[in-house]
Amino acid sequence: MEKITSALRLRMSYKDAHYGGNLVDGAHMVHLFGDIATELLIKSDGDEGLFLKYNEVEFLAPVYAGDYIEAYGEIYEVGNTSRKMRFNAYKVITSRTDVSPSAADFLDEPVLVCRAEGICVTPKASKRK
C-alpha cells in the first residue's frame, strides 16, 4: 500500500481560546484531525467519507492563542471500506505574551500536544478510486 499522508499548519487565534489564560480547547485538535481525515479519504477514495470513531485521543501539552500548530495524519491500514488513521499535532511556534503582546518563539524541538487514532469509512457506492 502506498503511504497516504496529510498535513496542516495554522495559528491558533484568540477566538479559538475558550478558557482562562487564552487556553485553546483540546477539542480544537480533534477538529483539525477531522479535516486531515477528510483530505486523506479524498486522496485515497475520491470521496470525503465518514469518520466512524476515535480509538484513542491523548492531550499531552497545552495550546494557547498565538501558538502555531502543525497537524499530521496518515492512513496506516486499509480495509474493504474502512481506513485506520493516526494523527499527531505539534506546537512549532509558541506565543510569548510574558515578553510582549506580540512576542513569539520558533521552537527548536516541536512539542507533541495531541495524538489520536481513528477509523473512517468510505461507503462502496461513494468510492471513486
C-alpha to C-alpha distances, 51 to 41, 83, 116, 124, nearest whole angstrom: 10, 9, 13, 15
How many domains in the chain?
1
Could you tell me if residue 129 is inside a domain? no
Could you tell me if residue 128 is inside a domain? no
Could you tell me if residue 53 is inside a domain? yes
Structural domain harbouring 41: 4-121
Could you tell me if residue 127 is inside a domain? no
H-helix or E-strand spanning residue 110: strand 104-121
Sign of CA pseudo-dihedral 128, 6, 18, 26? positive
Q: What is the pTM of this model?
A: 0.92
Could you tell me if residue 60 is inside a domain? yes
Check which CATH number belongs to the domain holding 99 and give it. 3.10.129.10
Could you tell me if residue 21 is inside a domain? yes
Could you tell me if residue 126 is inside a domain? no
Predicted confidence pLDDT, tens digits, the chain (129 residues): 678 999 999 999 989 898 988 999 999 999 999 999 999 999 999 999 999 999 999 999 999 999 999 999 999 999 999 999 999 999 999 999 899 988 999 999 999 999 999 999 998 877 888
